[in-house]
């Protein structure tokens, strides 16, 4: 079994994906244990010295000014139970694992003051395959407290959890896995809850898929170059370097590599193609840049002390903070959504160019038989419907919040919603890319004697593996679904 070592730094998207989807187990270094022990000592010394510490000896939110003077352990149970108000469909098993992994990575930094036994109990929960049933709706992006309550409650044996494919009361799931319920020490409850672990964990999985679809979009566009008889001179490095916007040079080079060996490099190219083809380096460059920024933000969060209050190890003190707040993460996902929508719009435009009236020597509607054949033109409605849904989901949500907790929490980022929205957009984008792939392969097949580049020939072969060339009209929706399924687990290289 794959193992991921948490050190308090260096956790990557790939680590979260391995834990979430390949059931990798988690180990921690001795330095993490030492760091947690040191942070805990600083926290306890501060509390014993009379310092008010949010969530340890004070209430939360609107109860901030209410002191907790006794039954500190019971207060932690009260704290996690009182935030168990999430609703909606539960998170999937892989997302739940990603959330726990994300919180463990953050906690390993040492800023929470969580007790080592509680941290170790959460590691054991994940490694044993006990997965809390976590409702999906309740976070406004000012930390994911309400959503993480289900994780914390399962750790102490409350709520429900999945174990080996069956949902049990959490206490029973722990027993079947050979684990005992954790006993929370002062501040452990808020340490488990007060961070954006759902946004970061789920966000890591969404970005992993987005990276794969970015590559699929590149390959679909390169095959459209072949099908539309595009002018490859627009990909010349000198043109890109004349305006070296982030990502543009690299994206033009990727397209050139896929087209290498194509007949398109022979004399006779069109002077200017439609913008959806001619401006591909700019469009894909902006998307690649937005995607890189989002990955950087999520990996920063995975390795940060996103806690309130935060234990400052070097200064040996505890201070209230806003580190749980994630406006940069929300903005990165909103920006990425707009960049994906822009690339998707270009993909849809190329589809319409190829499947409309005769263009660049292609038969009308890409029909091989002509006459009354509808060819690909009915699928234009499907492409238009997909694009409308993508545009809708690209609308920002990070400003859609209300002031809650009697005005104490008067700002939010909606990071969890921004992440979920982007994940839904990716499903639509995958279908749209599949539509372009199918049309581009058909266009190539309507160019007798055309020779594709080495990379684009592999893309064409991928499409034809899942869908034969269309001669007579048939149900092309089935072909699109087959290609979309192939994009999940196959390579076009």
pLDDT tens by residue, 186-210: 889 989 998 999 999 999 999 999 9
User: For residue range 132-191, what is the model confidence (pLDDT) as tens digits?
Assistant: 999 999 898 888 989 999 999 999 999 999 999 999 999 999 999 999 999 999 889 989
Of 423, 363, 355, 360, the residue nearest 383 (C-alpha) = 355
Quote the pLDDT of residue 86: 93
The region of weakest confidence among 152-156, 218-222, 402-406, 412-416 is 402-406
Band of the pLDDT at 66, cuts 50, 70, 90? low
Strand, coil or helix: what is 88?
Answer: strand
Q: For 162, phi and psi rounded to 5 degrees? A: -95, 135
Task: Please enumerate in sequence order all residues whose Cβ is within 8 A of that of 489, keeping only pairs 6 or more positions apart, or say none.
Answer: none
**pLDDT at residue 275 is higher than 70:** yes
Contact criterion met (CB below 8 Å) for 145 and 341: no
Among the four given CATH numbers 2.40.340.10, 3.30.70.580, 1.10.10.10, 1.10.275.10, the one describing domain 3-195? 1.10.275.10
**pLDDT at residue 62 is higher than 60:** no
**pLDDT at residue 407 is higher than 90:** no
Highest mean pLDDT among 53-62, 237-246, 405-414, 426-435: 426-435
Could you tell me whether strands 25-28 and 3-6 are parallel, antiparallel, or unpaired per DSSP bridges? Answer: parallel
DSSP 425-493: HHHHHHHHHHHHHHHHHHHHHTSTT----HHHHHHHHHHHHHSPPPSS---HHHHHHHHHHHHHH----
DSSP state of 159: S
Band of the pLDDT at 129, cuts 50, 70, 90? very high
How far is the C-alpha of 365 from the C-alpha of 446, rounded, in Å?
Answer: 11
Dihedral sign of CA atoms 101, 105, 108, 110 in order: negative
How far is the C-alpha of 435 from the C-alpha of 430, rounded, in Å?
Answer: 9
Among the four given CATH numbers 3.90.1150.10, 1.20.200.10, 1.10.10.10, 3.40.50.300, the one describing domain 202-489? 1.20.200.10
Quote the pLDDT of residue 70: 67
How far is the C-alpha of 384 from the C-alpha of 445, rounded, in Å?
Answer: 24
**What's the mean pLDDT in 226-254?**
94
Share of the chain above pLDDT 90, in %: 77
Quote the pLDDT of residue 459: 98
The region of weakest confidence among 43-47, 293-297, 427-431 is 43-47
Per the prediction, the chain carries an average pLDDT of 93
- CATH 1.20.200.10 in the chain is located at 202-489
Both structure tokens of 168:
């049990």
**pLDDT at residue 415 is higher than 70:** yes
Of the two residues 83 and 341, the one the predictor is more confident about is 341
User: For residue range 297-310, what is the model confidence (pLDDT) as tens digits?
Assistant: 999 999 999 888 89
Task: Please enumerate in sequence order all residues whose Cβ is within 8 A of that of 290, keeping only pairs 6 or more positions apart, or say none.
Answer: 332, 335, 336, 338, 339
- CATH 1.10.275.10 in the chain is located at 3-195
How far is the C-alpha of 189 from the C-alpha of 79, rounded, in Å?
Answer: 7
**What's the mean pLDDT in 374-400?**
95
């Amino acid at each position: 079994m794959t193992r991921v070592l948490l050190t308090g730094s260096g956790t990557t998207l790939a680590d979260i994906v391995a834990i979430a989807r390949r059931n990798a187990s988690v180990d921690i270094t001795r330095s993490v244990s030492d760091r947690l022990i040191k942070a805990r000592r600083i926290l306890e010394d501060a509390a014993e010295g009379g310092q008010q510490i949010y969530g340890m000896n004070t209430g939360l939110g609107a109860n901030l000014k209410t002191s907790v003077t006794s039954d500190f352990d019971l207060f932690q149970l009260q704290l996690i139970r009182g935030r168990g108000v999430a609703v909606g469909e539960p998170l999937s098993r892989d997302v739940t694992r990603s959330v726990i992994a994300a919180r463990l990575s953050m906690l390993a930094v040492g800023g929470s003051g969580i007790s080592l036994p509680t941290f170790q109990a959460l590691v054991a929960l994940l490694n044993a395959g006990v997965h809390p049933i976590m409702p999906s709706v309740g976070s406004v992006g000012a930390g994911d407290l309400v959503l993480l309550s289900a994780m914390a409650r399962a750790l102490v044996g409350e709520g429900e959890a999945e174990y080996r494919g069956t949902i049990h009361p959490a206490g029973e799931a722990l027993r079947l896995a050979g684990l005992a319920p954790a006993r929370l020490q002062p501040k452990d409850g808020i340490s488990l809850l007060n961070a954006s672990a759902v946004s970061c964990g789920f966000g890591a999985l969404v970005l992993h898929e987005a990276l794969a679809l970015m590559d699929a979009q590149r390959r679909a566009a390169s095959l459209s170059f072949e099908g539309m008889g595009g002018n490859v001179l627009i990909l010349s490095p000198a043109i890109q370097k004349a305006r070296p916007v982030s990502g543009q040079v690299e994206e033009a080079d990727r397209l050139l590599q896929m087209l290498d060996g194509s007949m398109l490099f022979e004399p006779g190219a069109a002077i200017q193609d439609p913008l959806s083809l001619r401006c591909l380096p700019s469009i894909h460059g902006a998307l690649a840049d937005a995607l890189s920024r989002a990955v950087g933000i999520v990996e920063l969060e995975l390795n940060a002390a996103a806690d309130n209050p935060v234990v400052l190890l070097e200064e040996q003190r505890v201070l209230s903070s806003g580190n749980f707040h994630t406006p940069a993460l929300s903005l990165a996902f909103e920006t990425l959504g707009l960049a994906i929508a822009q690339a998707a719009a270009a993909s849809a435009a190329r589809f319409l160019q190829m499947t409309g009236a005769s263009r660049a020597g292609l038969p009308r509607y890409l029909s091989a038989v002509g006459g009354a054949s509808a060819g690909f033109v009915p699928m234009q409605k499907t492409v238009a419907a997909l694009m409308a849904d993508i545009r809708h989901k690209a609308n920002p949500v990070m400003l859609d919040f209300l002031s809650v907790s009697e005005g104490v929490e008067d700002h939010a980022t909606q990071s969890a919603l921004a992440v979920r929205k982007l994940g839904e957009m990716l499903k639509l984008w995958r279908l749209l890319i599949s539509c372009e792939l199918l049309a581009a392969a058909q266009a190539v097949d309507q160019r007798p004697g055309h020779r594709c580049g080495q990379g684009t020939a592999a893309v064409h072969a991928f499409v034809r593996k899942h869908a034969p060339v269309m001669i007579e009209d048939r149900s092309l929706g089935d072909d699109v679904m087959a290609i979309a399924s192939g994009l999940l687990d196959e390579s076009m290289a």
